[in-house]
């Protein structure tokens, strides 16, 4: 069976957040125009993903999970988070939840982050440790997984 990539889960989380907002909008937390505040994390998340992708390309290493990395990327956005793309997706989802405004949409955000952590981040970090050893462990000691 082919491994599903993070964007599959990301788009699924967006659909789920919208669905629970429409079907079960328990409490409206934000009303227009305050819902537009969600544009901030959404845009920041997009920027993080674009910057991380650019750094990966600069170092000529893979962006795809579970493919062997040819370089340990520690600069740019990777100097303050080890997972800027996953953080970016989570921020985008948080922004969408804020723009929807209901409490139920926000419930999807921590579930999505936990899913990313379990399915991708932990196994990827094990691979990086195997590939880069002490260099990765030093980086891991300096830079947080999320923020």
Query: Can you give the pLDDT at residue 91?
Result: 98
Residues in CB range of 2: below 8 A, 6 or more apart = none
7 in a structural domain:
no
Query: Can you give the pLDDT at residue 119?
Result: 96
112 in a structural domain:
yes
Report the alpha-carbon distance of residue 75 to residue 58 in Å, rounded. 11
pLDDT digits (tens, 9 = 90+) for 67-86: 999 999 999 999 999 999 99
pLDDT band at 1 (very low <50, low <70, confident <90, very high): low
pLDDT digits (tens, 9 = 90+) for 6-58: 999 999 999 999 999 999 888 888 889 999 999 999 999 999 999 999 999 99
Domain encompassing residue 38: 16-142
pTM: 0.95
pLDDT digits (tens, 9 = 90+) for 106-142: 999 999 999 999 999 999 999 999 999 999 999 999 9
3 in a structural domain:
no
Query: Can you give the pLDDT at residue 2?
Result: 66
Query: Can you give the pLDDT at residue 27?
Result: 87
Number of domains, the chain: 1
1 in a structural domain:
no
Query: Can you give the pLDDT at residue 138?
Result: 97
């Amino acid at each position: 069976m082919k491994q599903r990539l993070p964007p599959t889960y990301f788009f699924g989380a967006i659909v789920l957040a919208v669905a629970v907002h429409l079907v079960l909008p328990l409490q409206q937390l934000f009303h227009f125009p305050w819902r537009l505040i969600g544009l901030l994390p959404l845009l920041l998340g997009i920027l993080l993903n674009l910057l991380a992708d650019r750094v990966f390309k600069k170092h000529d290493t893979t962006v795809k999970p579970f493919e062997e990395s040819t370089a340990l990327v520690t600069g740019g956005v990777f100097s303050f988070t080890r997972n800027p793309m996953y953080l970016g997706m989570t921020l985008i989802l948080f922004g969408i939840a804020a723009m929807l405004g209901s409490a139920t949409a926000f419930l999807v955000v921590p579930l999505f982050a936990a899913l990313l952590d379990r399915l991708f981040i932990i196994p990827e970090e094990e691979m990086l440790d195997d590939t880069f050893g002490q260099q990765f462990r030093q980086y891991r000691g300096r830079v947080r997984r999320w923020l």
